[in-house]
Amino acid sequence: MAVTTAGATRDGNAPARPRKNRTFLVLNIISIVAGIAIWWGLSLAGLQFPTPGEVVAAAWKMIKDGTLATDVGASLGRVLAGFALGSVAAVIVGFVMGWYTVARGLFEPWIQFFRTIPPLAMLPLVLVLMGIGESPKIFVIFLAAFLSCVISTYQGVVNVDKTLINAARVLGAGDGTIFGRVVVPASTPFILVGMRVGLGSAWGTLVAAELLAAQAGLGHRMQSAQLYYDLPTIFVGIIAIGVLGLIMDRLLMIAGNKLTAWQENR
């Protein structure tokens, strides 16, 4: 029999998956290699790009002198703080909105209004009010994560299958039990989708916030490299942002799959 590794962690009911997965992986690798080759070709052909080699050299230098670690640390610290605060607030507000009609009526117009404003557009105001320290950046990230996640959580609570709530009621569950043991687990998939969107939005907002006002961080590094026409450093910044974003998204996805493994038809 074929080697099965991927199927084993789930429920092992998809024998066709490993082979399909492998084909997919091979295509992924071909695509990445080809992309880098095209980049290399373009930079050799006289475009103003640095070659991959120059970028690797720049990255190596930044790793050795510790600037990359400092920048990544500063950026990750901000995004994680803002994202964590935003998600927690979104889950709480989303639940309250879904559970109490009064709260829904009161919160909804403000959330809908602020949702249409890109969080970055708040930055000038926030900088004036909160100064140029860490708090304005974290606040803008918080806003980005919160606004992406809150609607989704609220939808999750509203969409909980009425039959499940009735089933809990006839089994003697009161409101508290229904909330904790039915509504919360049933809306988890929605919350996780919201958190993934929120994380993406938070990451994007962070980098832009750092471009505008920061003393450290990946955005700041790219901003100062721009002044010196230092293209390899800008490339390192871009790649680091992409890789970190991808890793965080995947981690959240894996955690989400673990938490919602009970879902049907996946």
Partner 1 sequence: MSTPKISVRGVEKVFPVGREPFVALGGVSLDIADNEFVTVVGPSGCGKSTLLNILAGLEQPTGGTALVDGRPVTGPGPERGVIFQQYALFPWLTVRENVEFGMRTAKVPKQDRRERAEHFIRLVGLEQFADALPKTLSGGMKQRCAIARAYAVNPSILLMDEPFGALDALTRVRLQEQLLETWSEERRTVMFITHDVDEAVFLANRVVVMAARPGRIAEVIEVDLPYPRDEDMRLSPEFGALRNRVWHAVYHQRQIKEPAQ
Contact footprint for partner 1 (CB under 8 A): 11, 161, 163-164, 166-174, 177, 181-182, 185-186, 188, 261-264
State which residue, 108 or 175, has the beta carbon closest to partner 1.
175
Least separation, in Å, of the C-beta of 165 and partner 1? Answer: 9
State which residue, 153 or 201, has the beta carbon closest to partner 1.
153
Helix, strand, coil share of the chain (percent; to 5): 80, 0, 20
Least separation, in Å, of the C-beta of 189 and partner 1? Answer: 10
71, 217 Cβ separation under 8 angstroms: yes
User: Beta-carbon neighbour count of residue 131 at 10 Å?
Assistant: 11
Cα–Cα distance, 146 to 199 (Å, whole number): 10
Least separation, in Å, of the C-beta of 8 and partner 1? Answer: 16
What H or E segment, with its residue span, contains residue 31?
A: helix 17-44
Cα–Cα distance, 233 to 58 (Å, whole number): 6
State which residue, 46 or 174, has the beta carbon closest to partner 1.
174
State which residue, 170 or 227, has the beta carbon closest to partner 1.
170
Least separation, in Å, of the C-beta of 105 and partner 1? Answer: 23
Give the CA angle between residues 145, 150, 152 to the nearest 5°.
110
